[in-house]
Amino acid sequence: MKTLFLVRHAKSSWTQLHLPDIDRPLNERGYNDAHLVSKTMLHKTKLPDQMISSSAVRAMTTALIFARTFAYPEEKIQIESQLYETTVQDYLHVISRVSDEVQTLMIFAHNFTISEIVPYFLGNTFEEMPTCAVLGIDIETDHWSDVRNSHGKQAFYLFPKMLKEA
């Protein structure tokens, strides 16, 4: 059994319209949400053995906030350009290359693809993941290389609005 955490990057800023999309930073709400969600996760679920982030600034910043909260070494965050403006098949390719020593993997990426990959594992429809949402999936496999042929079950789900309404 492997556990995959899918994290949609936190809310990004649109104040600097001249920036290329890949360079957009988080806005204040994004920073606050990433801290809130990561601190809540720290006490509610297992932590990742490996983190992989899209090469976009907003995804990398979200990953850095989570890493600091989890005391995960920042230099170990793997930056993967194949998670930016891409497809479910590209996500699966990235995941399938992870070492089997890793039991719990956390991916930081973007909509719409991050929401589109969920039904691939859970076999049902899943609404769009809000910004800074985290979905944990227990996948029925011992090898990440077999992830394309594996199914899973939802093990964890958290997003900022859940915490703010509580």
pLDDT digits (tens, 9 = 90+) for 2-53: 999 999 999 999 998 899 999 999 999 999 999 999 999 998 999 999 999 9
pLDDT tens-place string over residues 117-163 = 999 899 877 778 999 999 999 999 999 999 999 989 999 999 999 98
Tell whether 16 is covered by a domain: no
Tell whether 17 is covered by a domain: no
Per the structure, the complete domain to which residue 103 belongs is given by 2-11+22-165
Q: Report CA-CA distances (Å) from 104 to 7, 88, 137.
A: 13, 19, 10
- Determine the pLDDT at residue 123: 85
Tell whether 70 is covered by a domain: yes
Tell whether 157 is covered by a domain: yes
Q: What is the pTM of this model?
A: 0.96
Whichever domain contains 76, its CATH number is 3.40.50.1240
Give ∠ CA 91-14-24 in degrees, rounded to 5.
45
- Determine the pLDDT at residue 43: 86
Number of domains composing the chain = 1
